[in-house]
């Protein structure tokens, strides 16, 4: 899958996430074990905008980090022989910073690179961009568990 793009149907085959928590719409670039670039189109119809915040919709930071993590999990699962037998879990977040609000109409470009990978665990450096602006960044740890 080196350099492969993925549409939503392909992402759904790989990730266990579903609406309303599936937070990536497309993968633009994928190099298993190295890097992934994905998109999240932020629309006014997102369910979280009902309460965050009425009259001033802002995407919750935790969901921006979740979108980065999901993109990283696509990269991790794409390098596994039987991805349907695995489930990705958050294992940690370090150096997380939020730089600008993400609002309806924004498109998040999620860029992640592997810092370290050992067996079923992976540490990724993630950035969430809106255009040329950095919206958020974090180091994310993820682990692939057995689906049971």
Confidence band of 1 (pLDDT split at 50, 70, 90)? very low
C-alpha torsion sign, points 87, 91, 94, 100: positive
Question: How many structural domains does the chain have?
Answer: 1
From the list 17, 35, 52, 123, the catalytic residue is 52
**Structural domain for 100, as ranges:** 8-146
Q: How far apart are alpha carbons 63 and 17 in whole angstroms? A: 13
- Tell whether 2 is covered by a domain: no
52 is catalytic: yes
Q: Cis peptide leading into 20, omega within 30 of 0?
A: yes
Q: How far apart are alpha carbons 121 and 90 in whole angstroms? A: 10
pLDDT of the residue at 4: 79
At 37, which CATH number?
A: 3.10.129.10
pLDDT in tens, 128-147: 999 999 999 999 999 999 98
Instruction: Tell if the pTM clears 0.85, that is, is over it.
Output: yes
pLDDT in tens, 3-34: 679 999 999 999 999 999 999 999 999 999 99
């Amino acid at each position: 899958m080196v350099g492969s793009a993925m549409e939503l149907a392909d992402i759904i085959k790989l990730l266990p996430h579903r609406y309303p928590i599936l937070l990536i719409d497309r993968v633009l670039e994928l190099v298993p074990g190295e890097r992934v670039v994905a998109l999240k189109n932020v629309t006014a119809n997102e369910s979280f905008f009902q309460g965050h915040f009425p009259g001033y919709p802002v995407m919750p930071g935790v969901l921006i980090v979740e979108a980065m993590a999901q993109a990283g999990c696509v990269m991790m699962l794409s390098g596994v022989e039987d991805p349907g037998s695995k489930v990705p879990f958050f294992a940690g977040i370090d150096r997380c910073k939020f730089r600008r609000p993400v609002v309806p109409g924004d498109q998040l470009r999620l860029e992640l690179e592997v810092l370290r990978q050992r067996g079923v665990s992976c540490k990724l450096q993630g950035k969430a961009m809106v255009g040329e602006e950095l919206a958020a960044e974090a180091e994310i740890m993820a682990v692939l568990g057995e689906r049971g």
